[in-house]
Structure formats: structure tokens, C-alpha cells
Amino acid sequence: MSATFLGMPGNFPKNSEKAVQNSQLRFNLRKATHTIRGKRASVVGELPDWQELRAAGKAIKDHTLRNLDRYLLQLEDAVTTAGGAVHWARDAAEANRIVTELVKATGEREVVKVKSMATQEIGLNEALAQHGITAYETDLAELIVQLGDDFPSHILVPAIHRNRSEIREIFLDKMPGVSADLTDDPPALTEAARLHLRERFLRSKVAISGANFMVAESGTLVVLESEGNGRMCLSLPETLISVVGIEKLLPSWRDLEVFLQLLPRSSTGERMNPYTSMWTGAVEGQDFHLVLLDNGRTDVLADEVGRQALRCIRCSACLNVCPVYERAGGHAYGSVYPGPIGAILTPQLRGMSSELDASLPYASSLCGACYEVCPVAIDIPEVLVDLRAKAPHAAAEKAGMKVAGWVLDDHERLAKAQRAASRLRKVVPRRLPGPLSAWTDTRDVPEIPEEPFRDWWKRTGGGASEEAE
Amino acid sequence: MRVALFITCVNDTLFPGTGKAVVSLLRRLGCEVDFPAAQTCCGQMHVNTGYRTEGVRLARHFTEVFAGYDAVVAPSGSCAAMVREQYPKLARPGSRGAAAIEEVAPKVYELSEFLIDVLKVDDVGAYFPHRVTYHPTCHSLRGLRLGDRPLRLLRNVRGLELVPLPGAEECCGFGGTFAVKNPAISAAMGADKTRNILDTGAEVLCAADNSCLMHIGGTLGRQRAGVRAMHLAEILASTEEAR
């Protein structure tokens, strides 16, 4: 059973300090992210109108978010008319309760799952387990994470922190019925997973999914996937329950034209993903339930700067270009949403009262690579800086920044401080004190000059007297 | 044209040589600059670390100090980007502060922008006979979109052998207070940046920002790598007579 992120300890600097020394993790992440960066750049480069598509994606999402109340009601109407049932979940607890009741009502004690970040966000598997219901992940990477009793570390490829020999170990250890001479050859591993999952697909009467998009106009849900497990789970079982964040809404069928171009190129670096499934309400012989999830999203919507995070279509392009994510890995963020989008979404959904969540807006050098690749143009650095202004500040840091601000407020004060530093230039310790020791742990400090620039300017008339010599 | 030099607090305090190079370079190109002594800091450190009040105060001071100039030259991509990109977001629309920012911000140029876009020169008559590799720094690359301006300037420096830097677009890991708040990741990023630099066989690492150079240069120094970190201004100021 995959573990829950709720109540993760530590903070990002501490967690990433450990991760950064893990050579296997560093190797896996570097290889995977650099490869996918290239693929993404290549397929995006093929489209002459990529920037227009981005702008359209941003505009459609902003419009939808501005009118979310209207579109949600329209969606509910359309889904209900098409034979589905719509449930509204204010928070994780309510969503888990609704889903548990729905499953119990079928009499089944096993469900199959299509990969869904939303269900991980609310800890659904754990909640079901408490009621004696086992949820089996069918997405290969989620299966690996589940069998390994692990946490997902990436939005799209949750087992990116595992390599093939680790996966083989996990299968040998935990996958029922697997052959003892299983190799770590990817086709062999895939075949073992296929055989294992095929049994589950054919046996299971209840499936739980998320969705990439929900179309208000028609009541259609859309799932984009690579493996076909989604298609199996959506079509075979008698009962389908979809848990979807309210921000996944699109107004009309036509809007898919934009997003079906933006998403595959941004996520897997493909022109089109292998399986796109769309379903409207319930098909004959199937019960369909849509659970609309808020869980903090309307609070995010209320924030003028932060609401752009709700445009996210969970492509993970930002994770794949982030130099911080590349070296820290997903676990360091302590959330199902790691990386740049995680750094702005997690603190908004969970608040910043925990040490971990308060550290997330700082898990960035503000390089802007994420903003550049985001298909819906979320200005992640802007939201990070805004969250930093709202985050709790440690007393010592606050004091230091106040002093720095005071010195910088007045040029005479600044000059005095500079001259004092210059006088001490010969006695700069190899190791700086306090928080600045973090600098000298890995870097030399620059030599302090004899005089600051402003004194040189004053003394020489801007170099005029020097050049006259 | 009245041109002011915004030296930046980092250069003022730790890298006056860069400021001297800018003054001498511009003088050589026939452009004299003022140095309004009341200047201090653009406020980037405070704003980006979450101390908006102090940052806004520093921004206000900046707009007061540099009001009335036709151009302000800043030998720092991050400071120029702070003023041009972030200042407009700091003031309430329609306020006096917003008007002051609207007046000053567009006149602030990073050095290579000033040389190419305002003075309209890309050959500054420099001489620097060394193998150099150039790191574009994130604010220069993605904020200001300097493009190939610095490279054009470097390519016209006599004697200079310019070699491309692998992974040039990857952040060096400085990130302001990030360098001390997330030191492990900062060091890991610095390690990869220095590895790429060493792979070029260059003698000199050049960039338009001394803050990033402080981090990369400090890392190279700790490794005793023997590669010098130099600001773009100092290379461009270099001539046969003065090196």
C-alpha cells in the first residue's frame, strides 16, 4: 500500500541535503530529465504556433477559473443528463468518505486504479484500506511505487527514482506469481507487469480514476495515457468512480483542440500520447460517479497572484527542466506535487504552517526555466516570490534582513559599513559565521577590496585624476 | 544624453574593479557617466527573500536617485531585470510610485544592452588574448533576453578565443539567498556548472553578473581549478595598453 504524504517531516534544505548525495538518484534523475528535455524541445520546436497555443491555453484556463461556478454547474447538469452521478467534496476527508461509501455499496473489496494525482493528494488508498478495501494501482510506475511501499517522486513518472534492477527486486519480492528468473531487461519487466495487471483488469468490478480534463458543455471526461491501463480500467469494470480537481474543467469540446496539442508535447515529449479515452456519463451496464474535489482549490482561486497555479494541466515539463528538482528529486518536497509547480501549489493547498511547507517557496533559485516551458504560462517565479512574502520568517533571519535593509537605506551608512569591511579585509576567516557558513562550506569568499567603488569615485573624480597621470 | 552609472551594492562593495572597467570603457567610447552618490541597492535581495516592505523602500529610493537621467547603466543582469521586470509589480497601479517606476525603469540598461542598443557599437576596440567561455546567467537569459549581445561583443575582442559552454542555459545555483538557504543544492548546481566550464579548457569564465560569478568563481577557487572568473565589463575594458 503506498504511503501517505500527509504530515511529512523535515524541510526542503534538510531533505535535499540527503538526496543530493544519493548517487543512484542523481544518476537516474539526470539521465531521465536531460533525455526528456531534449524530446520536449524537439516536438515543441516542430510547431510554428507554439507560443500562440500557450497563450490560448492560458486564456482558456483563466476564463474557466473566472467562471468556475457557472461551468461546474453546467458540467454537473451534463454528466447527470448522460446518466452519471455527481458528488461534491469540500475536502480530502469528504472525498474519501464519498468514495468509500460508493465502493462499499457495490459490495466489492478490491478496486483497480488509474493513475490519479488527486487521489494521492487526498490519501485515498490509505482511507480505503482502513475500511478493508484494497486499491490496486495499474499504471506501471504507480504499481512499482505501490509494491515498493514507496512515495511517488514525479507527477508523470512517479518511479523515476528507481532503476531497472531496483524494479526487478521489487517485482521479485512483492509481485504475486512472478517468475524467479525474471531479468531486469525492460521488455521482461513490462511483460511481468502486463501479466500481473491483466488478471486485475479482468477480475475487478470497480475502478477509480482521475481525469486530465472535464468538458462542461458535454459532460465528457478525458484521460491521456501511455500504457492502456486507463482504457482497461475505464471500460471493463461495472462501476467507475472519477475523483477530479475542480480546476480540471474546460468550457467546451473545442477547447480540447488546444490542450491535446499542449499536453503530450509538454509531458512525454510526444506529438500524441498512445491512448486518449473520453467518456460521457455512464455507458450501458456501467455506473459512473464523478467526485468533484475542492480541497483548498477555491482558496487558491481567491489569491490574485497564486491563482495562476490552477491553470496547471499536470504535464510536468517544469519538473523536467528544474535544476533544483534534478538534484533533489521529488521526495524532498514532501508532497505528491513536487518540483516547481509543487513549490507553488502545495503551500497554497496545505498552507505554510509546517516547517516543510514553509520551506517550499524557497526551493528555487528563481532561474525561470519552468516558466519558459509551462504550456499554460504559469509565472512560477512570480508566485514563488509572492509566497515568500507570505511565508513565516525565522527571527534570526528577520533581524539580519532588517539590519541589511537599514544599512542599504542610506548611502552614508552603507559607505561606513563598506569601509569597516575593507579595514578587516586581511582578517576574513576561511569560515564565515552563522548562516553564512553555508557559503564557505563549499565556496571561497571573494577578496574584500581596499576601498568600495563609491570611495574610489570620490577620491579620483571618477578615474579622471588617475587617467591624467 | 545624461547617463548614470548604477554600480549595484555587490559591485560597489566587493567588485569595484568592474565599476572602474565600465567607466573606463564608456569613456573610451566617448560616453561620460554620472555617479549619483546617494545610490544604494535595487532591493532585489529583500524582495526575492520575502521582505517586501524593505525591498519597496529600496526601490522607491532607486527611482528617486535616478530620476531625470536619459539612461542608467547597470553592470548586472539581475539588477537591471529587477528594475525593469519586477519594479512595475511593486507599486499600486495609478500611484505616485507607479508613475516614478514607469519613468525610470525603461531607462535602465544592462551593460551589453547599453553598448549595442544605445551606443550602437558591438566592437569596443578591446584586446584580451585568452580563451574565454561565457555563462549567460538566468536574468540575462530569460528576464532581459539579452540574446547574443554579450557574445557579439566578445567575438569582436581581439585575441580572444571564445569557446561555447556546454549546458550554458542551466542555472549556476547562486539564486541570491538561495545560495545559503539551500546550500546543498546550490553547491550541487555549482559543481555541475564548474565541470562544464572546465570541460571547455577555458582560462577565463565570463558573465554579466558578479553575483553569479561570486558563486561560480568561489566554487572554482575552492577546487583550486585555476580558472579565473571575470565580469564582461573587465574584458571589454581591456586593451593592449591597459590590461
Q: Does B82 reach chain A within 8 Å, measured CB to CB?
A: no
Question: What gap in Å lies between CA A107 and CA A229, rounded to an integer?
Answer: 23
**B168 and A CB contact within 8 Å:** no
Smallest Cβ–Cβ distance between B185 and the set A327, A414, A446 belongs to: A327
- Please compute, for residue A71, the number of CA atoms within 13 A of its CA located in the half-sphere on the CB side: 24
Counting runs of H as helices and runs of E as strands, what totals does chain A give?
24, 10
Q: How far is A95 from chain B (nearest CA, A)?
A: 35
Q: How far is CA B100 from CA A255, A258, A411, B6, B87, in A?
A: 41, 40, 20, 17, 10
- Cα distances from B177 to residues A87, A156, A333, A414, A435, in angstroms, run 45, 30, 19, 20, 10
Closest chain A residue to B8, measured at CA: A453
CA angle A202, A206, A208 (to 5 degrees): 115
Residue pair B46/A397 in contact (Cβ under 8 Å)? The answer is no
Q: What is the pLDDT of residue A283?
A: 81
pLDDT for A468 equals: 54
pTM of the model: 0.96
Q: A336: closest CA among A165, A124, A178, A163?
A: A124
C-alpha cell at A37: 528535455
Q: How confident is the model at residue A469 (pLDDT cuts 50, 70, 90)?
A: very low
CA A204 to chain centre: 30
Query: For the residues A89-106, what does the mean pLDDT come to?
Result: 98
Segment A247-302, tens digit of pLDDT: 999 999 999 999 999 999 999 999 999 999 999 998 888 999 999 999 999 999 99
Instruction: Burial-class residue B23 by CB neighbours within 10 Å (0-12, 13-18, 19+).
Output: buried
For residue B74, give the 3-state DSSP assignment: strand
Compare CB distances from B142 to A372, A438, A451 and report the shortest one's residue. A372
For residue A457, which residues of chain B lie inside 8 Å, CB to CB? 19, 35, 37
* Cβ–Cβ contact A363 with B under 8 A: yes
Determine contact, residues B236/B25, Cβ cutoff 8 Å. Answer: yes
Residue A1, pLDDT > 80, answer no
- The chain A residue lying nearest B39, using CA atoms, is A411
B57 vs A contacts (CB less than 8 Å): 405, 409
> If you average pLDDT over residues A382-402, what whole number do you get?
96
DSSP B164: P
**More confident call, B242 vs A340:** A340
Vertex A380, ends A377 and A381: CA angle to 5°? 125
* CA dist., res. A397 & res. A344, Å (int): 22
In the block, which residue shows the cell 460517479?
A289
| CA of residue A188 relative to chain centroid, distance | 30
What SS3 string covers A394-429? Answer: CHHHHHHHHHHHHHHHCHHHHHHHHHHHHHCHHHCC
Q: How far apart, in whole angstroms, are the C-alpha atoms of residue B110 and residue B102?
A: 17
d(C-alpha A308, C-alpha A218), whole Å: 25
What distance in Å separates the CA atoms of residue A55 and residue A49, rounded to the nearest whole number? 10
Q: Is B1 on the interface with A (CB under 8 A)?
A: no
Model confidence at A433, in pLDDT bands (50, 70, 90)?
Answer: confident
Helix or strand or coil: residue A88? strand
Q: How many CB pairs under 8 A join A and B?
A: 185
Could you tell me if the ipTM is greater than 0.95? yes
**Residue A204: which of A104, A100, A110 has the closest Cα?**
A110
B20, B174, B184 member nearest A20 (Cβ): B184
Measured CA to CA, the distance from residue A338 to residue A29 in angstroms comes to 14
Q: Does residue A112 contact residue A124 with C-beta atoms inside 8 Å?
A: no
The DSSP annotation for B98-157 comes to HHHHHHHGGGEEEHHHIIIIIS--S----B--SEEEE---HIIIIIS--TTHHHHHHHTS
Q: Which whole-number Å values give the CA distances from B134 to A367, A456, B15, B113, B197, in the listed order?
A: 17, 28, 19, 16, 9
Q: Which residues of B touch A402 (CB under 8 A)?
A: 54
Distances (CA, A) of B165 to B21, B132, B204, B208: 24, 9, 12, 15
Instruction: Tell me if A88 sits within 8 A of A177, measured CB to CB.
Output: no
Least confident of A329-333, A424-428, B71-75: A424-428
> Which residues is A213 bridged to in the sheet?
A222
Q: How far apart are CA A368 and CA A384, in angstroms?
A: 11
Q: Where are the alpha helices (DSSP H) in A89-163?
A: 92-106, 117-121, 124-129, 140-147
**pLDDT at B242 (0 to 100):** 66
Picking from B108, B90, B9, B35, the residue whose alpha carbon sits closest to that of residue A405 is B9
User: What's the mean per-residue pLDDT of chain A?
Assistant: 94
**Model confidence pLDDT, tens digit, residues B139-156:** 999 999 999 999 999 999
pLDDT in single tens digits along all 243 residues of chain B: 999 999 999 999 999 999 999 999 999 999 999 999 999 999 999 999 999 999 999 999 999 999 999 999 999 999 999 999 999 999 999 999 999 999 999 999 999 999 999 999 999 999 999 999 999 999 999 999 999 999 999 999 999 999 999 999 999 999 999 999 999 999 999 999 999 999 999 999 999 999 999 999 999 999 999 999 999 999 999 998 865
CB A155 within 8 A of CB A141: no
Chain A CB contacts of B7 below 8 Å: 453-454
Q: Are A127 and A96 in contact (CB under 8 A)?
A: yes
- Is B61:B95 a contact under the CB 8 Å cutoff? no
* Whole-number CA gyration radius for chain A: 26
- Per DSSP, A252 falls in state -
Of B171, B182, B219, the CB nearest to A13: B182
The yes-or-no verdict on residue A2 having pLDDT over 80 is: no
What percentage of chain A exceeds 90 in pLDDT? 90
CA distance B183 to B162: 31
The set of cell numbers assigned to A323 is 535544476
User: What is the least distance, in Å, from the CA of A10 to any CA of chain B?
Assistant: 14
> How many residues make up chain A in this entry?
469
Report CA Rg, chain B. Answer: 18
Min mean pLDDT across A241-245, A428-432, A438-442, A458-462 is at A428-432
Of B19, B52, B183, the CB nearest to A441: B183
| Long-range contacts, A167-175 (Cβ 8 Å, 24+) | A170/A144, A171/A147, A173/A147, A174/A147, A174/A148, A175/A147
A372 near B CB under 8 A: yes
The verdict on B180 touching A (C-beta cutoff 8 Å) is: yes
Nearest to A361 by CA among A320, A389, A336: A389
Q: Which pLDDT score is estimated for B101?
A: 97
Q: How far is A152 from chain B (nearest CA, A)?
A: 21
The minimum CA-CA distance between B161 and chain A, rounded to whole Å, is 26
Looking at residue A379, its pLDDT comes to 98
Q: What span, in angstroms and rounded, lies between the C-alpha atoms of A80 and B84?
A: 51
Contact A323 B48 (CB under 8 A): no
CB contact under 8 A, B48 and A388: yes
Which chain B residues in 27-46 lie under 8 Å from chain A, judged by CB atoms? Answer: 27, 33, 35, 37-41, 43, 45-46
Using the Cβ of B167 and the Cβ atoms of chain A, whether some distance falls under 8 Å is answered with: no
**Average pLDDT of every residue of chain B:** 97
B186/A contact by beta carbon, under 8 A: yes
At B182, which amino acid appears? N
Please say whether the dihedral angle defined by the alpha carbons of residues B14, B17, B21 and B23, taken in this order, is positive or negative.
positive
